[in-house]
Amino acid sequence: MTSSNRKVRLRFAPSPTGSLHIGGARTALFNWAYARRHGGRFILRIEDTDRERSTPEHEAAVLEGMRWLGIDWDEGPDVGGDFGPYRQTERFDSYAELAERMVADGTAYRAFDSTEEIQAMRETWMHSGQKPVYQGRDLDPEESARRAESDPFVLRFRVPEGTTRFTDMIRGEVSFDNGEVDDWVMVRSDGTPTYNFVVVCDDTSMEISHVMRGEEHLTNTPKQVLLYEALGLEPPSFGHFPLILGKDKKKLSKRTGDTAVQSYREKGYPPEAVLNFLCLQGWALDDKTEIFSVQDLIGHFDPADVSKGGSIFDPEKFLWLAGEYVRASEVGDLAERCLPYVVAAGLATEADLRERRDWFERAVATEQERIRLYADLPARIAYLFARDGEVVYDPQAEKNARKHADRLDTLKDYLAWLEPHLQAGSPAEEVRARTRDWVGERGLKFPQLFQPLRCALTGAAGGPDLFDVMELLGPQAVRKRLQAAAERLA
RNA sequence: GGCCCCUUCGUCUAGUCAGGCCUAGGACACCAGGUUUUCAUCCUGGCGACAGGGGUUCAAAUCCCCUAGGGGUCACCA
């Protein structure tokens, strides 16, 4: 394309004005995948030139979010690299010098308009249907230099006549009439450089070969391409991803859904599922595979295959995907990942769970196909930690149990029958089989025993196999819960 | 409002570049069955789309034009 013999170097350049956004994460992911696929480098650069809103805490949160997802970088503020520094505010010196040169050769000029004047112009443009473009209001060089000594000014880029074209890796040929492009501000009156200026400087000096970002940057691209041309530099290849949309079809925002990667982490989404879901926003591995790893992404990602239209973020499908990952987990791993949530819910201490590790894993196994998020587990296994006389009966469970007029006798007789098994510690399979026989011999239907039994043991209307539950509970708890139920269900 | 981008089931998408293999495939959701001690899982089936209109062609979801709709952007934010 633009640069055939350049080394492949891509960057993700978030501004630390908040935690990692779901859209930013996808941008990072695709850039990362492209770099990895082509044996290139992936660079993390912090765009902190908005000093008002940028904070070290946000920067840390962004890095943490990336790490959690498993997107690693070869160069960045924390790991360094040969093209540092990797925070823009630490690179200010290099911008100033270039700006001076551009004023000297006329590709940039000083503008002395006050904020109010600019405001007024914009008002006029918007209401009168004129082109909302600021162009060519520069003074002759001498007057400009003279006024510069007393009055504040900004440096603007002088947009030449013509048409600016570039080949977008996702959209193909894109062109803008230069008459539509503002003589945009490169350097503010306080001497600090603006985004479009800084980006070009940094991408150049960091030898970035491909710039892939969200579609909201599409109109910035001609400004940047023009700057590359004015500087006699070869621009990188550009690509603009479609936006991730909320239910309202507008750019996903906090109003229309959770946008922070961190909040999905807290809710207990497996990071692999988050990554997988992000891939599905605008890209597909093939015509039928929904579940795949980042290795598959790396092996097949091509920006030309990315959809051009925006995609509405579907929380339902996201949840389904999370569940798929949870179900496919190895139980030990799943237990490890759920453990913090069980502790946070106050059901047990970490030490306790680690001591009863085998038991805990078995408990997790009973719920593996019922939970979709790690955070779903605590509520589902809370009954295992309840006091035997105080198991919380779900209204539906109690209703089911009370449907059977013979419930009290059934439970009492069943407990009596069960007692020898409890004492002998009979395995679940055996008790399960024998119980079925017992139900048959007594001429009962299964629900007549199982509904009261489930309510007594777990308090829930649905749940795992009751004989697995009994094993987890242990003989004493089973006894007590059945006895308690004989009173509570009277 | 100007400019730019976009448009396949409700949603995510395959197919569009190289027109026929598309009576448009998959997934989520939904509906109906089945399995199960219940819930969940799992299995089977169903519902459901080429924005509209003109061309080009033997043939168009695919190419061209127009219209409509949606979005983005118009900062001394990034």
State the pLDDT at residue A51: 83
State the pLDDT at residue A4: 55
3-state helix, strand, coil in chain A (%, to 5): 55, 10, 35
State the pLDDT at residue A3: 47
Q: Which helix (H) or strand (E) holds A186?
A: strand A185-187
* A444 CB closer than 7 A to any strand B atom: no
- Please provide the CATH number assigned to the domain covering A331-385: 1.10.8
Q: CA(A173)–C1'(B31) in Å?
A: 45
Q: CA(A277)–C1'(B8) in Å?
A: 21
Residues A456-473 have pLDDT tens digits of: 999 999 999 999 999 999
Radius of gyration in angstroms for the set of CA atoms belonging to chain A, rounded to a whole number? 32
Smallest CA–C1' distance to B7, residue: A309
Q: CA(A249)–C1'(B10) in Å?
A: 13
A254 assigned to active site? yes
Give Cβ neighbours of residue A3 (< 8 Å, ≥ 6 apart).
A209, A234, A236, A237
* A283 CB closer than 7 A to any strand B atom: yes
State the pLDDT at residue A1: 42
Report whether A312 contacts A246 (CB < 8 A). yes
Name the residue with tokens 């201490």: A349
State the pLDDT at residue A2: 43
The active-site residue out of A7, A247, A254, A308 is: A254
State the pLDDT at residue A378: 98
Q: Where are the domains of chain A?
A: 92-241, 331-385, 388-488
The CATH architecture that domain A388-488 belongs to is: Orthogonal Bundle (1.10)
* A95 CB closer than 7 A to any strand B atom: no
Nearest to A261 by CA among A300, A301, A219, A318: A318
Q: Name the percent of chain A lying above pLDDT 70.
A: 99
CATH 3.40.50.620 fits A92-241, yes or no: yes
Q: The pTM is what? A: 0.94
Positions in chain A whose pLDDT score sits under 70: 1-5
Nucleotide nearest to A193 (CA to C1'): B76
Nucleotide nearest to A177 (CA to C1'): B3
